[in-house]
Chains A and B, each alone.
Chain A
Amino acid sequence: MTDFAEPGALLGALLPEITLLLGTLILLLVGAWGGESSSPTRRSARFALGIVGVTAVAVVFAWLRGDGFTTDDRLTGDGFRWAIDLVLLLGTAGALAIFDTEQLRTRAYQAEIPVLMLLALSGMMIISASRDLMFTYIGLELMSIAVYVLAGANRSSARSAEASIKYFLLGAFASGFLLYGIALLYGAVGDTRLSALGAATPSAMYLVGVALLLVGFAFKVGAVPFHLWTPDVYDGAPSPITAFMAACVKASAFAMLLRVMAEGIGPAIVHWHPVVWWLAAITMVVGNVVALAQPNVKRMLAYSSIAHSGYLLVAVLAYSQEAAAAVVFYLLAYTLATIGAFAVLGIVSEGRETTVTIDDLSGLWHVRPGLAVALSVCLLAFFGFPIAGGAGFFAKWYVIQAALASHTPLTVLVVVLVLASVVSAGYYLTAISAMFNRPRPSQLPMPVQTPLLSGIVMVVAVVALLVLGVFPTPASRLAAAATLRAAPLATPVAGTMTVSAPTVAATEDAGSTP
């Protein structure tokens, strides 16, 4: 075990987090010395972008340096941590750039909002770094509390406040479940380290702990039936914050779920496998079907994000190293598409109090072809369309591949996934068709000229999606390297074990996956 009483070891292990936190504290003080006009907020957002960049350098540096950790440690230094960190940093940078545009438009935000985003980011990075449920919980709360405030960032909007209080109440409730689950697991095992949980023989208390833990996780990832907060919060929160939640909070929740499942609660796989199977199936179906009925684009994207949670749960359930790589790749593609889509929505919603409906997108192609193309690529990426949807196609492809190659082939679940994706065409293509096939109604305002930062976000997101859609190999290699160096999914699952998943009853041996 690495001894953290050695200050050097601690600093080395948490270098990116410390960099981020130092920058955030400085930013907080810088923000305090400005008034409440719009320029300190935008200065703060740009400064925050710089901090994100420096942190990314620290992450790459730490990744290249390699780690000196064993799976017994409370922290990890494996590739999975760094890869998730990079996805999170990418998502945060995008959200900050969109925030900058939003502030230019509404002038409704204080200079502390970027600080809160960075604080949430540091919580997420702690989550991806932890191999101990208490660390995970601290990171989760650091993230959640900042995001509760962020949801209410627009103080002049009643809907923003409503989103904030709803998210806070339900999130605190879910955190309670999670904490109770951690307490029971600690009671059963006498340790909160994932390695200790992974080596234990499940007792009744252990299983109840796992069940409560799953409830908390399902809430955080927005899986049906714990999804009800998602549409209201995504719709009520300001667009940049919604993008931040949809991209980063979700990525971080899945990193947490994947690591805890892979390294921690493996011994109880017989018991949680069927539960997560049904969660994934219901989430995909409900998310996609309900999204069909949403005229409001933000609510539609909220349900779409619920559906994506379902797809990702399939990958989590496949429980192999390929699946972990698939999750990393999926999160990358999903983050790019989310950031791109919300960057476009931020510009289209110019001069409007309410959120954008599909009718507001009518004929966008005729007035601003660039915006229409960017939004279409992002929506097609959500849909998983080949070539035009770019990396979204390969994201789904890898998930399906991992699910079919799993020790318990998830054939039925993959069929549900494909059918649910077909249903999702109903709303993604409706929005695209509205942009291209309908004439522009004359009463709709002309979208503003794209501000520089938003433009960069759109171009980067679309180009990255399209390039990865043709050459996915670099990113998928990186994702594979990220999880191969991780000890993870080969934790001892106590020899062979029969999995009574609804699909097939097969032998489970997570240790022998190539």
Chain B
Amino acid sequence: MLREYLPVLLLLGFAAVNAVVILGLGELVTRTHPTEIKQQPYESGMAPLGDARDRFSVKFYLVAMLFIVFDIETVFMIPWGVHYQQLSCAVPLVDGACPAGQLSFFGLGEMLVFALILLVGYIFVWKKGGLSWD
């Protein structure tokens, strides 16, 4: 029974080794010339220290909102991808495969419509200048 969890263990191990390798390589290879500004924590271009109740540009909200829109697009695509085989088959799957001649374009069309609506939104945002910072 525990064998079923072997892939999880392998993934865990891979992630750990990967992290160590990447960080270690960075330590070994890079040359550092620290300045005061470089040493500050990264806060998307804002002053990292000081009063938190400070005014900052509303543009950050805009970027965050646009990010969420496309984030949700991805989130929606994952369950769609998982069920794609069933969605592109006009009858219930037999042994995880679609019987011959029963393929339909429903699943593909569904996602195309969704992507197209988002594309219109993207063009709108672009045209309105929502993607440029200044």
Pick from B104, B117, B123: contact of A32, CB below 8 A: B123
Chain B residues lying within 8 Å of A6, measured Cβ to Cβ, are 90
Q: Would you give 23 A-B contacts (Cβ < 8 Å), ordered by A?
A: A5-B87, A5-B90, A5-B104, A5-B106, A6-B90, A7-B104, A7-B105, A7-B106, A7-B109, A25-B117, A25-B120, A28-B120, A28-B121, A28-B124, A29-B120, A29-B123, A29-B124, A29-B127, A32-B123, A32-B124, A32-B127, A32-B128, A33-B127
Chain B residues lying within 8 Å of A25, measured Cβ to Cβ, are 117, 120
Please provide the chain A residues from 4 to 54 with a CB less than 8 Å away from any CB of chain B in the complex: 5-7, 25, 28-29, 32-33
Bound: A33/B120 CA distance, A: 13
Residue of A nearest to B127 (CB): A32
Contact with A along B101-134 (1 / 0, CB 8 A): 0001110010000000100110110011000000
Chain B residues lying within 8 Å of A32, measured Cβ to Cβ, are 123-124, 127-128
Chain A residues lying within 8 Å of B127, measured Cβ to Cβ, are 29, 32-33
Bound: A86/B132 CA distance, A: 42
Q: Which of B's residues lie within 8 Å of A, judged by CB?
A: 87, 90, 104-106, 109, 117, 120-121, 123-124, 127-128
Residue of B nearest to A21 (CB): B117
Bound: A29/B109 CA distance, A: 22
Main SS class of interface, A: helix
Chain A residues lying within 8 Å of B124, measured Cβ to Cβ, are 28-29, 32
Bound: A148/B129 CA distance, A: 23
Chain A residues lying within 8 Å of B90, measured Cβ to Cβ, are 5-6
Residue of A nearest to B125 (CB): A32
Residue of A nearest to B86 (CB): A5
Bound: A35/B89 CA distance, A: 46
Main SS class of interface, B: helix
Known contacts A25-B117, A28-B120; 18 further A-B pairs (Cβ under 8 A): A5-B87, A5-B90, A5-B106, A6-B90, A7-B104, A7-B105, A7-B106, A7-B109, A25-B120, A28-B121, A28-B124, A29-B120, A29-B123, A29-B124, A29-B127, A32-B123, A32-B124, A32-B127
Shortest C-beta distance, B111 to chain A (Å), equals 13
Residue of B nearest to A5 (CB): B106
Bound: A388/B27 CA distance, A: 87
Chain B residues lying within 8 Å of A7, measured Cβ to Cβ, are 104-106, 109
A-B residue pairs, 8 tightest by C-beta: A32-B127, A25-B120, A32-B124, A5-B106, A28-B124, A32-B128, A7-B106, A5-B90
Bound: A7/B87 CA distance, A: 12
Residue of B nearest to A25 (CB): B120
Shortest C-beta distance, A167 to chain B (Å), equals 19
Chain A residues lying within 8 Å of B87, measured Cβ to Cβ, are 5
Bound: A6/B102 CA distance, A: 12
Residue of A nearest to B109 (CB): A7
Shortest C-beta distance, A11 to chain B (Å), equals 10
Bound: A6/B110 CA distance, A: 12
Residue of A nearest to B120 (CB): A25
Chain B residues lying within 8 Å of A29, measured Cβ to Cβ, are 120, 123-124, 127
Bound: A28/B127 CA distance, A: 11
Bound: A7/B128 CA distance, A: 34
Bound: A131/B87 CA distance, A: 22
Bound: A33/B128 CA distance, A: 8
Please provide the chain A residues from 184 to 203 with a CB less than 8 Å away from any CB of chain B in the complex: none
Shortest C-beta distance, A37 to chain B (Å), equals 15
Please provide the chain A residues from 342 to 380 with a CB less than 8 Å away from any CB of chain B in the complex: none
Residue of A nearest to B121 (CB): A28
Chain A residues lying within 8 Å of B121, measured Cβ to Cβ, are 28
Bound: A7/B106 CA distance, A: 6
Bound: A215/B121 CA distance, A: 34
Chain B residues lying within 8 Å of A33, measured Cβ to Cβ, are 127
Bound: A29/B127 CA distance, A: 9
Shortest C-beta distance, B114 to chain A (Å), equals 12
Shortest C-beta distance, B61 to chain A (Å), equals 15
Shortest C-beta distance, B123 to chain A (Å), equals 6
Residue of B nearest to A4 (CB): B106
Bound: A33/B126 CA distance, A: 11
Bound: A29/B117 CA distance, A: 11
Q: Which of A5, A6, A7, A33 has the largest number of chain B CB atoms within 10 A?
A: A5
Shortest C-beta distance, A80 to chain B (Å), equals 27
Shortest C-beta distance, B99 to chain A (Å), equals 14
